[in-house]
Structure 1
Amino acid sequence: MVKVNPPSFASKLRRKGSKQRTNLAIATWEGVPAIILQTLLGGPFLTGFLLYLGAGSRQIGFVLAITTFVNIAQIGAAYWMQRIRSRKRMLLLFVGAHRILWSATGLIPFLFPQEWWVSIFIGMYTVAFIANTIGGMIWTSLIGDIVPAKVRGRYFGIRNTILNALGSVCLFVGGMVLDRFPGGTGFLILFIPVWICAIANTVIYFFYPDMPFERSKEKGFWRMFKKPFQDQSFLKATLFLAAWLLVQTLIVPLYSYVMLDLLNVNYQTVSIITVVQTLVMMMGFYLWGNLNARFSNKTLLFWTLPIIALSCLSWGLMSFMPVLVALFCSHIFLGIGVGGFNQLAFNFTIGDTPKSERPMFVAVYSALTGVTSFLGPLIGGSLYEKMEKWPEPMTWFSTYGFQMGIGAAMLILTFTLGRRVLLR
């Protein structure tokens, strides 16, 4: 009889390491069709598609804002998650619904009368992002368990760099398509790869591991809901970041609107500007990821804020320099700052919170910042609508003066309240 030795401890570790690498590879590959879909449906292309459908600045502001406002639904989702058996199945359901509904907005001009286009788009877009906010909550919880804490900062830095490199190519190609085929034809061409990627992205989620879920120690909703509010460090940082995002989103989400509608910059140029922003963001992801191995999430978050403020202040360069120089400078600062902010805010919510209570902490952060990020573009869009009626000598204010004022307010907020909250 042949004696079979049990697997050694070293072989178990190797298998575990191999499985982790496979899971990380799946999470990276899943992002490929996702970034293509998000790039061709979001950013300047979303603004352009809304202008094609006939939307005004206020409606554009609402659409840009609704994606964050629906984050309030994450509070209910965090409690509901404690009762589901499989995070993977629910992820497939909600993320799949988001991808299909958002990509289906491309069919609106072919199926409905023109006077309904904007209203139907807003309805479909809202439902899609309600599904996405629940799916995003589940994904955040799941990816936090998939990616080991010791490599989290560096992994997301590398993953974001790879995906944004692909996104920059899509931005450039998409801009060329819309300039060569203006109007409905160009958008139809863009939606064809979007429909393919919506299906591919949903399919790849089938390969995600269904990791064991450490549930909350609290059983009742209110006891679970109060946990984040009892963590003073988390609460102060979240409230400050919510206030910061209210100011930031007054203008930053409307950059594309100002370029396309007020400055009459063509799609290809806007795409090139956004590609440069993305390339800088890619380098930033890697840099912030490496710094995150040495410094805390909150410390690095603080230093992204003045860089974003400089993005707004840079619009003032067009008062004495060529418009494109100002726009490129602004988007370079934006790429460095917002890329770092988003990556570090994500690491903050999954790394600086207790694992068993993480869904509710993420939900409270998303809800508070979501409300302010919803109000910002709405207020900004309404202000631009009023500025359109101002006399000709005041057009400078809508093209760069407003941005400079917001940038100054952001710097003051950073070095007063932000320094006390994030650097202590």
Structure 2
Amino acid sequence: MNYSSEHIKNNEKLSILNGASSIVANSLVSGFIPLFAIGVLGATNQQVGLISSLPSLMSMLAMIPAAMWINRLETKKTFTGLSILSARFFLLLMVFIPFITIVNQAWILVVLIALMNLPNAIATLSWQSFIGDIIPDKRRGAFFSERSRILTFVGMVVTIAAGVVISRFDKTDTFPYQLLFLVGFIFGVIEVYFLMKHYEIKVEKVKVKEKKAFTTTLKKMISHRPYRSFVLCAVLFNFGWQMAWPLFTIYQINDAQATAIWISLFTVVNSISQMLSYKWWGRSADKWGNSVMLFIAGIGMATAPILTILSTNLIYLTIINLFSGIFVAGTVMLLFNQLLHVSPEKERTSFLATYNIILGAVGFIAPQIGVFLLELYNIQIAMSISSGIRLLGGLAFLLVVIYIERKSNKHPLNPLPLNG
């Protein structure tokens, strides 16, 4: 598909506006869900762990049917928009949680978050495939680094504003959270509006028998060495990364006694360092390759759990979040860029879906393992194990560079060919 430079430029502008609306909706909700769950609804460690892990399970369940639907589409924009709108509708439902008293409210929140991630997973896959079609490969590095920088700034401003609003109320008051959920839903509608304004070229799909198509694509994934190597490294790294997600939340709220304003401050300083480092990660990836930079990002990410548990001082934890944000920026951007890079264009949706299914399984199991280790031992041991696995994941990306990418004669670390 060939898009004109004018269409590409316009789509990039709309993608930023769409992403900004999305980040507002997400920032108003995701950053404060743990505080709402623990501080207001009295959620247990198990429920906090499920809030982190169930979305991944739902994503895994949604991927196969989603890939089949998306593969049949001649245009993806409308399908993506409807999926996003369905996911945002659950934010509206969360407004009514405090009015339900006949069952445990924390469990209602857990169930709604889980169900919300069915359409959200479909929307994510559809958007990844959609954006991969309309933004050419040569533009992705520069565009996504710039887009990520802008969206991070927007998220930072929204998060600190939300934290200030929540801090003005009693910590057990439900009203500020209900307000955030409602505003999040409204921005979800705006997000869909900007998505629908993108220009998309209709693609004629060749009809193939689904079983044969799936079998053929699966064989291609297994035999496609760059994709296979990337997935194996990503699984190892993501296991170490995601097992600590509920642990950070539990440590910050229960051990360090962080309030809404501190939680928002952690997010904001993390966002500031992300915003300032995106361009460097983008330029470095263009120069050295995604896998080399993923190794560096992985090493940095491995330090976060260990450094966090050294103190419960809130100012210290703020500094650690500022430091770790540098590596979060590289990890998020590089994983996505490398995924698109190693996924062949013709089978991109299926390759993306398979990756998301595998990562969904990891995302469901890893937080539960993290909470299990917390209950079995303590937060120090659980966080240390997370750091160790993250380190191994980062080293795995380096091994890919040494043993696979350099041998392909396409990696920047290679010397120039003799003929030229």
Give TM class, smaller chain.
0.7 to 0.9
Match of 2:190 among 197, 200, 204: 200
Per the alignment, residue 217 of structure 2 pairs with: 224
Structure number, greater radius of gyration = 1
Per the alignment, residue 284 of structure 1 pairs with: 277
Structure 2: 5+ residue runs without aligned partners?
404-420
Task: Verify the 8 A CA contact 2:58 2:115 in the aligned structure 1.
Answer: no
Match of 1:46 among 16, 27, 33: 33
Q: How big is the shift at 1:241?
A: 1.3
Match of 1:347 among 333, 337, 342: 337
Per the alignment, residue 168 of structure 1 pairs with: 156
Aligned counterparts of 2:270 and 2:28: Cα–Cα separation in 1: 16
Per the alignment, residue 410 of structure 1 pairs with: 390
Identity %: 24
Task: Verify the 8 A CA contact 2:84 2:188 in the aligned structure 1.
Answer: no
Distance 1:223 1:217, change over 3 A: farther
Query: Secondary structure in 2 aligned to 1:303?
Result: helix
Aligned AA (1:403): M
Per the alignment, residue 411 of structure 2 pairs with: none
Deviations 1:290-333 (A, max 9, x none): 22222322222121100001112212432xxx723541343133
Q: How big is the shift at 1:253?
A: 4.3
Per the alignment, residue 420 of structure 1 pairs with: 399
Aligned counterparts of 2:401 and 2:148: Cα–Cα separation in 1: 24
Deviations 1:391-416 (A, max 9, x none): xxxxxx42x4532343244324533x
Deviations 1:228-256 (A, max 9, x none): 11212211221221122112222134312
- CA RMSD, Structure 1 to Structure 2 (Å): 2.3
Aligned counterparts of 1:215 and 1:355: Cα–Cα separation in 2: 14
Distance 1:89 1:192, change over 3 A: closer
Where does 1:22-421 land on structure 2 (aligned, <5 Å)? Answer: 22-43=10-31, 45-51=32-38, 52-72=40-60, 73-110=62-99, 112-113=100-101, 115-181=103-169, 182=171, 183-213=173-203, 219=209, 220=212, 221-318=214-311, 323-386=313-376, 397-398=378-379, 400-415=380-395, 417-421=396-400
Aligned counterparts of 2:337 and 2:346: Cα–Cα separation in 1: 16
**Worse-matched range after superposition: 268-277 or 82-91:** 82-91
Distance 1:179 1:89, change over 3 A: same
TM-score normalised per structure 1: 0.86
Aligned counterparts of 2:298 and 2:65: Cα–Cα separation in 1: 30
Task: Verify the 8 A CA contact 2:236 2:389 in the aligned structure 1.
Answer: no
Aligned counterparts of 2:330 and 2:25: Cα–Cα separation in 1: 22
Aligned counterparts of 1:101 and 1:46: Cα–Cα separation in 2: 13
Q: How big is the shift at 1:356?
A: 0.3
Task: Verify the 8 A CA contact 1:216 1:357 in the aligned structure 2.
Answer: no
Aligned AA (2:358): L
Aligned counterparts of 1:114 and 1:270: Cα–Cα separation in 2: 30
Deviations 1:123-177 (A, max 9, x none): 2222221111111111111101221211211111111111110111111111112
Count of residues in Structure 1 that have an aligned counterpart in Structure 2: 395
Aligned counterparts of 2:47 and 2:275: Cα–Cα separation in 1: 31
